[in-house]
């Protein structure tokens, strides 16, 4: 119902590597409005910046992909070495409104949003399901 | 079968097109060969593809070979079977015959023999060499051909066609093409079926031990080759795809580990586009092929077909995936392959793909989205090659030349090091090179960032190279190493994913089991048994790479720093350019930034600045501040070097406006110092700069400032400064923008003096000059620091959040100032509307009524008009004014004002007029007050009584006097209110006289009526009459006949007094004291209140007690007329016409003058006796006179002579009007008798209605 009417106003994207992940919500005009470094590993000090850089570059992919697929969840739109970028578009989001969905809360805050797809054992990359706003 | 591989290879290369065999029965081929070959290739051939669907193939080339040709004859049946694809697809039998018998007896049996072989697809071409002019022969040939057709063609299939060498043959060639095509199609179908059958059989045996991939390959490729020859490239491609799939399955089968390959010389150069680079026999291994070569071979075949299909973008996309997956395979075998072979191979593969696709791609031919995708892939290939190239460069010590940007860091620091089984060791004679490298390392000091920004450079290594290299050497244990590390921890090593910036495939390759033995005999004996130093590692890697790399270009690119940089730039530019073309602006712009870094290093600051601008604009536009913070200092430095003051300051300001956490306070202070220093430096021109992101402002919270029109005020504005320290502004101004009128630029308000902005919140006071009415919002804050002119448009976010809308970055503009429309702020009115006494000192009341506006300190200018003067000797009284009669609400309001603490409890005082103005007291600021001004209206004129003979001429203006008032009020006396107040002055009475009775004794009773003109009781105390000549007092000696004094005359009422007078019998000539007219004197008193109207004069009021009240005297002239006693002439007004007078209608008015008695005495002597002077008087408003108004008429002196004077006139107004009157100026009034005796009226009718334009009514 809303698939055809995707406006890219807000992307939630994330990005996970070995034990670390970066979760960002990107709003209208590709403006980042939320950023969180998650993951258990000891943080590399420059990781955040590199993550941002990679996510920003991935917006190029998103801009192409968002209009060619009706899927809202794009599990692996981009890869950078062993980093995977996945994206969830939210077409129901009204730009400017607050995110009030309790579903969102449970998924984001309680961390159930992380799943581990089978990418093999050692190099398994937890891919983030992300909630996504449009 | 695998033994035939070499032969297969030769066969394949030797034939590249479909063959048609020519069975030349009648030795015709030399004659027609030229013609046949001219009509090549086949223009339109319908063939059947793999899925049995007809496909149109255009321009299919066919090679004609005689059956007697060695190429066809020498083949053994075995060979024919194996390489069936090269066997002829059609057999053309060339015959000619002109004689029917010959045909029947010789040719036909021979032909039957030829065509009996079912396997062949054949048809007969009958060639007629007969000239058309030769009828006989032509007929014969026709017969033979007819017979041929009967014998060899069937209903199902036409197998004959006829070529006339000397005739027109257009039809023949079409026919021939159809027939060849039919043959080819049939043969193709049969062969495809055959091969597919064979392939199926082989596939079924796939998991049996006897299965041989080579056999499968030969069959499969043969089929592919058949399709390719038939130009069915799509089908051929599919065969290769299937072959690849099958190969990958077999190669990954467990227990069948084979040699990988990649050890040959030049194996480092990718051959993925060169199918013939290595003969298949060379790469065959047991029953299969070496993966390294064979996969490249397969890809080469596929790409060849794709190029034939004109799909270069698919080559790119398949190529990219292939490079990635093949590199993964190389990773698996990395430990045995030459050092860095993988990296070198990827570089060469990418470059080869780029070259090939670029040369096959022509702009604009394909759909835009495909083109876009192609460019994107080109960009990907370039950046992949770039990353690998950087890695190689880093390994040999060019790391210092690589910018430690986020892009490079992300590419390299997450890309694992190569993992050779043993790290290359230093060659024995390399000590000089090591020294040199060490020198370079020492020289390469890391560039200190501008502004003294202290930031740890982003890493380019996934883990410390020193450790990795040494650990992978044989003789070292890890325990020896820590002292040479710098202690960095890196990304977890060992994530063996193939490193490419973007890996579309989700497949993963297991990291190879790490070899911990590291047992290489050579290394044990190495003299370098200690840990290698970095320079040694670089030199060792360089030597190893020289062994690996066979490509001269690549070798050269790595041979020196300059060459490295050149190649690096080429790759970066290529990537950037292609990404831009594919609209991947982020990728493109970021790479532009890398180019900028190189330009910067070489001092090409203008180029660098341009590119950095783009990068900054991108990040700033999307507000990725962390990334912006990385690039912006570089841009600033470029701008500084370019002396671009404006740009540099702008960059500094942008740096300051970034999130505070991104730079340390010290760095931020450095930015500010730069801005201030530059602003105060010797810049030629003032630099305008937008500092909206740094200095923001907002109005004070709460309701907007409300001002009345014309009032100045003070505006408080909160300005937030984002500077880390105090900053001194030379000036600061603010514009206000009217919300209703956006066209007009707002007015600039200047802050008083130099302002120091503290970091954070500042409150600035602006003086506000009078503004036009309307509501105003804050516009722009502008200011100056030295030569820097800055402006800011942005409203502060520092205030409380108005909404939950976190997306709104600009608060809705709130009015900061409201200037109300011009309205009455005060009202001045005269307190009394009724008349005051003229010629007496009277209080004139002026009500001052402030309308919700303070009159504090107001000044009232009073200027009296002509005929009025202010009695200076008395003060002006001011008192609170309470409206009683207007409405209760207003008076209530007054009360409430009175109660308010600001107004003191005072409600009257005496003010002094000074220079025609008075100053209001504090108490009168907010309440209505009344000013009593003592004035005296001056009039020289004596009041005149009226009678029936001399009617009163009422002149309203006569008693009118004006007072011009001007009130200056407001904060700065900026408000001015002017009004002229009128006051009406009048005499107390209007006097009317008439003679009510004539007594027999000659006394007359004169009634004098007094009509009160003031709104107050008048008390008449006394009245007396001073008579004119010709009249004498009666008994009461000038007093009224009866005295009822004091007589009270109520306002507006009448009273009368009666005098008795009589005519003077004897004319007392020569009496000096005689008056020309009679004077009525009335002594009266007045009561009354100044609030109501006329009242006691001011001086009387002030003179003190009531006992000494001063009576006022009112004098009025009255005219008494003596009766006509001695008439000489009589003037009679003749009757008017009976139809009456009408406005606009001309009439003649006539008087008859008659002499009653003869003139005598002195009068006759003085005057001409026979003439009378007449004069017509008429009110010009009522009449228009057309004749002579004044003139002489002759009248005889005799008694009874008469004359009629007539005059033409037009009535102007309707109603009862006084007609023109005739007077005789030369005759004494007493000698003229008039008829009618007194004034009379005539009736004038209105004019007739004009009916010119009226429609008659029924």
- The answer, yes or no, to whether residue B527 has pLDDT greater than 50, is no
pLDDT band at A90 (very low <50, low <70, confident <90, very high): low
pLDDT band at B1255 (very low <50, low <70, confident <90, very high): low
Nearest chain A residue to B458, by CA: A46
Say how far apart CA B274 and CA B296 lie, in whole Å. Answer: 8
Q: Which two tokens stand for residue B897?
A: 């004002």
B506, B624, B805: residue with CB nearest A32: B624
Cross-strand pairs, A37: A22
Sheet holding B1183-1185, edge to edge: B1183-1185, B1202-1211, B1147-1155, B1129-1133, B1232-1235
Q: Which two tokens stand for residue B559?
A: 């041979």
- Report yes or no: B845 and B1091 within 8 Å, Cβ to Cβ: yes
Segment 381-410 of chain B within 8 Å of chain A by CB: 406-407, 409-410
Say how far apart CA B1027 and CA B1078 lie, in whole Å. Answer: 4
- The answer, yes or no, to whether residue B1110 has pLDDT greater than 80, is no
What angle (nearest 5°) sits at the alpha carbon of residue B230, between those of residues B113 and B158? 40
Contact residues on chain A for B331, CB-CB shorter than 8 A? none
Comparing B941 with B664, the larger pLDDT belongs to B664
Contact residues on chain A for B619, CB-CB shorter than 8 A? 56
A29, A49, A123: residue with CB nearest B622: A29
- Report yes or no: B348 and B551 within 8 Å, Cβ to Cβ: yes
pLDDT band at B526 (very low <50, low <70, confident <90, very high): very low
Our CA-based measurement puts residue B502 at a distance from the nearest CA of chain A, in whole angstroms, of: 5
- The answer, yes or no, to whether residue B163 has pLDDT greater than 60, is yes
Q: Which two tokens stand for residue B35?
A: 């013609």
Average pLDDT of every residue of chain B: 81
pLDDT band at B1067 (very low <50, low <70, confident <90, very high): low
- Cβ atoms < 10 Å from Cβ of B11: 18
- Report yes or no: B801 and B894 within 8 Å, Cβ to Cβ: no
Our CA-based measurement puts residue B210 at a distance from the nearest CA of chain A, in whole angstroms, of: 33
Tally of residues, chain A = 134
Q: Which two tokens stand for residue B902?
A: 């600001």
pLDDT digits (tens, 9 = 90+) for B471-513: 877 554 444 444 444 433 333 333 333 444 444 433 333 333 3
Contact residues on chain A for B579, CB-CB shorter than 8 A? 60
What's the distance, Cα to Cα, between the start and end of chain A in Å? 14
Who's near B1122: CB < 8 A, 6+ residues apart? B1030, B1031, B1063, B1230
A50, A78, A96: residue with CB nearest B409: A50
Contact residues on chain B for A95, CB-CB shorter than 8 A? 807
Contact residues on chain B for A18, CB-CB shorter than 8 A? 491-492, 495
Segment 612-651 of chain B within 8 Å of chain A by CB: 619, 621-624, 626-627, 630
pLDDT digits (tens, 9 = 90+) for A10-25: 444 544 444 567 777 7
At A7 the pLDDT is: 42
Say how far apart CA B609 and CA B596 lie, in whole Å. Answer: 7
- The answer, yes or no, to whether residue B100 has pLDDT greater than 50, is yes
- The answer, yes or no, to whether residue B302 has pLDDT greater than 90, is yes
Taking the Cβ of residue A104 and every Cβ of chain B, the question of whether any pair is shorter than 8 Å is answered with: no
User: Can you tell me the mean pLDDT for B115-120?
Assistant: 78
User: Looking at the whole model, is its pTM more than 0.80?
Assistant: no
At B545 the pLDDT is: 92
Most confident of B110-114, B385-389, B724-728, B761-765: B385-389
Q: Which two tokens stand for residue B513?
A: 């089991």
Q: Which two tokens stand for residue B1240?
A: 């009379």
Q: Between chains, do B627 and A52 touch, taking CB under 8 Å as contact?
A: yes
Comparing B1000 with B723, the larger pLDDT belongs to B723
Who's near B492: CB < 8 A, 6+ residues apart? A18, A19
What angle (nearest 5°) sits at the alpha carbon of residue B302, between those of residues B300 and B304? 70
So what's the ipTM on this one?
Answer: 0.74
Taking the Cβ of residue A56 and every Cβ of chain B, the question of whether any pair is shorter than 8 Å is answered with: yes
Who's near B1217: CB < 8 A, 6+ residues apart? B1179, B1182, B1183, B1211, B1241, B1242, B1244
Contact residues on chain A for B492, CB-CB shorter than 8 A? 18-19
Q: Percent helix, strand and coil across chain B, each rounded to 5?
A: 35, 25, 40
Judged by average pLDDT, the poorest of B105-114, B278-287, B738-747 is B738-747
pLDDT band at B367 (very low <50, low <70, confident <90, very high): confident
Burial class (CB in 10 A: 0-12, 13-18, 19+), B832: buried
Q: Between chains, do A82 and B414 touch, taking CB under 8 Å as contact?
A: yes
At A16 the pLDDT is: 43
pLDDT digits (tens, 9 = 90+) for A23-82: 777 776 777 777 777 665 555 666 777 778 888 888 888 778 777 777 766 666 676 766
Contact residues on chain A for B501, CB-CB shorter than 8 A? 80-81
């Amino acid at each position: 119902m809303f698939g055809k009417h995707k406006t890219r106003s807000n992307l939630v994207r994330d990005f996970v590597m070995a034990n670390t992940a970066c979760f960002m919500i990107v709003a209208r005009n590709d403006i980042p409005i939320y950023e969180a470094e998650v993951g258990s590993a000891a943080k590399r000090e420059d990781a955040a910046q590199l993550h941002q850089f990679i996510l920003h570059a991935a917006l190029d992919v998103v801009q192409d992909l968002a209009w060619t697929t009706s899927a809202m969840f794009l599990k692996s739109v981009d890869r950078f070495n062993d980093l995977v970028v996945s994206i969830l578009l939210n077409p129901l989001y009204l730009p400017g409104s607050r995110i009030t969905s309790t579903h969102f809360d449970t998924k984001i805050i309680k961390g159930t949003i992380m799943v581990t797809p089978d990418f093999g054992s050692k190099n398994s990359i937890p891919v983030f399901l992300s909630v996504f706003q449009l | 079968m695998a033994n035939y591989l070499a032969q297969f290879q030769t066969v394949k290369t030797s034939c590249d097109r479909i063959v048609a065999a020519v069975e030349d029965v009648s030795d015709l081929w030399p004659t027609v060969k030229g013609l046949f070959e001219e009509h090549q290739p086949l223009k339109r051939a319908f063939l059947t593809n793999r899925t049995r669907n007809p496909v149109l193939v255009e321009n299919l080339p066919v090679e004609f070979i005689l059956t007697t040709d060695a190429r066809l004859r020498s083949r053994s049946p075995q060979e024919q079977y194996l390489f069936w694809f090269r066997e002829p697809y059609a057999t053309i039998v060339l015959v000619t015959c002109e004689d029917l018998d010959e045909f029947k007896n010789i040719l036909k049996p021979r032909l039957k023999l030829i065509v009996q072989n079912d396997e062949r697809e054949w048809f007969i071409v009958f060639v007629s060499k007969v000239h058309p002019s030769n009828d006989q022969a032509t007929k014969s040939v026709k017969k033979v051909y007819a017979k041929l057709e009967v014998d060899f063609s069937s209903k199902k299939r036409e197998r004959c066609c006829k070529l006339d060498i000397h005739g027109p043959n257009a039809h023949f060639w079409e026919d021939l093409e159809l027939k060849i095509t039919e043959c080819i199609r049939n043969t193709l179908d049969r062969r495809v079926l055959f091969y597919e059958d064979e392939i199926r059989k082989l596939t079924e045996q796939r998991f049996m031990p006897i299965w041989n991939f080579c056999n499968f390959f030969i069959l499969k490729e043969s089929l592919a080759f058949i399709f390719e020859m038939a130009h069915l490239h799509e089908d051929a491609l599919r065969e290769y795809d299937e072959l690849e799939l099958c190969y990958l399955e077999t190669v990954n089968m467990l227990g069948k580990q084979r040699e990988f390959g990649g050890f040959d010389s030049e194996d480092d150069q990718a051959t993925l586009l060169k199918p013939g680079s290595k003969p298949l026999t060379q790469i065959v291994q047991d029953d299969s092929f070496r993966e390294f070569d064979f996969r490249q071979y397969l890809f080469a075949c596929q790409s060849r077909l794709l190029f034939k299909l004109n799909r270069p973008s698919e080559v790119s996309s398949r190529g990219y995936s292939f490079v990635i997956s093949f590199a993964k395979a190389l990773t698996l075998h990395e430990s045995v392959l030459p050092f860095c072979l993988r990296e070198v191979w990827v570089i060469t593969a990418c470059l080869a793909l780029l070259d090939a696709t670029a040369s096959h791609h022509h702009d604009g031919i394909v759909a835009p989205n495909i083109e876009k995708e192609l460019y994107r892939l080109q960009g990907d290939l370039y950046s992949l090659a770039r990353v690998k190239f950087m890695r190689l460069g880093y390994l040999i010590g060019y790391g210092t030349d690589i910018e430690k940007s986020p892009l490079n860091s992300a590419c390299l620091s997450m890309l694992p090091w190569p993992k050779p089984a043993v790290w290359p060791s230093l060659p024995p004679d390399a000590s000089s090179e090591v020294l040199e490298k060490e020198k370079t390392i020492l020289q390469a000091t890391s560039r200190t960032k501008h502004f003294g920004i202290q930031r740890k450079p982003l890493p380019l290594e996934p883990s410390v190279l020193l450790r990795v290299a040494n650990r992978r050497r044989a003789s070292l244990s890890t325990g020896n190493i820590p002292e040479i590390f710098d202690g960095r921890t890196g990304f977890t090593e060992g994530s063996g994913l193939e490193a490419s910036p973007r890996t579309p495939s989700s497949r993963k390759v297991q990291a190879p089991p790490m070899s911990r033995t590291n047992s290489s005999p050579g290394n044990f004996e190495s003299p370098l048994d200690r840990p290698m130093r970095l320079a040694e590692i670089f030199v060792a890697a360089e030597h190893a790479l020289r062994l690996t790399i066979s490509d001269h270009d690549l070798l050269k690119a790595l041979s020196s720093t300059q060459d490295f940089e050149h190649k690096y730039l080429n790759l970066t530019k290529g990537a950037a350019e292609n990404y831009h073309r594919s609209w991947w602006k982020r990728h493109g712009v970021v790479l532009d930034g890398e180019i900028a870094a190189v330009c910067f290093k070489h001092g090409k600051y203008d180029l660098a600045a341009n590119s950095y601008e783009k990068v900054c604009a991108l990040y700033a536009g999307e507000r990725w501040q962390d990334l912006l913070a990385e690039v912006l200092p570089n841009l600033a430095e470029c701008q500084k070097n370019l002396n671009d003051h404006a740009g540099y300051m702008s960059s500094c300001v942008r740096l300051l406006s970034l999130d505070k956490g991104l730079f340390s306070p010290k760095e931020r202070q450095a930015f500010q110092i730069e801005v201030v220093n530059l602003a105060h430096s010797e810049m030629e021109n003032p630099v305008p700069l937008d500092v909206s992101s740094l200095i923001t402002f907002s109005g004070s919270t709460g309701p907007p400032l409300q001002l009345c029109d014309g009032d100045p005020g003070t505006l408080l504005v909160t300005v937030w400064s984002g500077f880390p320290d105090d900053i001194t502004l030379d000036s600061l101004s603010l514009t206000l923008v009217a919300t209703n009128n956006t066209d007009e630029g707002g007015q600039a308000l200047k802050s008083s003096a130099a302002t120091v902005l503290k970091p954070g919140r500042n409150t600035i006071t602006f003086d506000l000059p009078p503004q036009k009415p309307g509501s105003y919002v804050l516009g722009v804050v502008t200011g100056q620091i030295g030569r820097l002119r800055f402006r800011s448009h942005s409203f502060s976010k520092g205030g409380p959040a108005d909404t939950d809308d976190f997306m709104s970055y600009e608060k809705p503009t709130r009015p900061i100032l409201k200037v109300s429309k011009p309205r009455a702020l005060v009202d001045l009115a005269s307190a009394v509307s009724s008349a005051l006494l003229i010629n007496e000192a009277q209080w004139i009341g002026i009500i001052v009524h402030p309308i919700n506006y303070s009159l504090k300190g107001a000044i009232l200018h009073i200027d009296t008009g002509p005929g009025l003067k202010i009695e200076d000797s008395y003060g002006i009284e001011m008192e609170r004014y309470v409206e009683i009669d207007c409405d209760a609400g207003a008076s209530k309001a007054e009360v409430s004002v009175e109660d308010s603490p600001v107004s003191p409890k005072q409600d009257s005082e005496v003010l002094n007029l000074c220079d025609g103005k008075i100053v209001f007291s504090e108490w009168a600021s907010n309440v209505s007050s009344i000013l009593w001004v003592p004035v005296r209206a001056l009039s020289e004129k004596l009041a005149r009584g009226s009678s029936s003979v001399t009617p009163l001429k009422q002149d309203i203006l006569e008693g009118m006097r004006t007072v011009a008032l001007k009130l200056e009020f407001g904060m700065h006396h900026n408000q001015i209110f002017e009004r002229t107040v009128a006051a009406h002055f009048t005499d107390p009475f209007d006097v009317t006289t008439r003679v009510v009775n004539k007594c027999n004794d000659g006394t007359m009773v004169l009634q004098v009526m007094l009509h009160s003109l003031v709104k107050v009781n008048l008390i008449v105390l006394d009245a007396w009459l001073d008579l004119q000549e010709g009249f004498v007092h009666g008994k009461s000696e000038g007093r009224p006949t009866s005295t009822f004094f004091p007589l009270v005359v109520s306002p507006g009422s009448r009273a009368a007094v009666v005098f008795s007078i009589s005519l003077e019998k004897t004319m007392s000539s020569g009496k000096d004291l005689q008056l020309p007219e009679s004077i009525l004197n009335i002594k009266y008193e007045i009561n009354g209140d100044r609030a109501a109207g006329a009242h006691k004069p001011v001086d009387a009021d002030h003179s003190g007690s009531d006992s000494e009240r001063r009576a006022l005297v009112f004098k009025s002239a009255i005219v008494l007329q003596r009766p006509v006693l001695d008439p000489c002439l009589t003037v009679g007004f003749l009757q008017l016409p009976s139809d009456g007078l009408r406005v606009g209608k001309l009439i003649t008015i006539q008087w008859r003058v008659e002499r009653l008695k003869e003139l005598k005495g002195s009068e006759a002597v003085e005057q001409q006796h026979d003439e009378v002077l007449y004069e017509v008087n008429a009110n010009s408003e009522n009449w228009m006179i057309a004749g002579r108004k004044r003139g002489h008429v002759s009248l005889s002196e005799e008694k009874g002579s008469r004359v009629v004077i007539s005059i033409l006139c037009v009535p102007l107004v309707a109603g009862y009007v006084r007609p023109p009157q005739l007077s005789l100026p030369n005759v004494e009034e007493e000698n003229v008798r008039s008829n009618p005796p007194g004034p009379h009226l005539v009736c004038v009718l209105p004019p007739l209605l004009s009916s010119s334009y009226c429609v008659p009514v029924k």
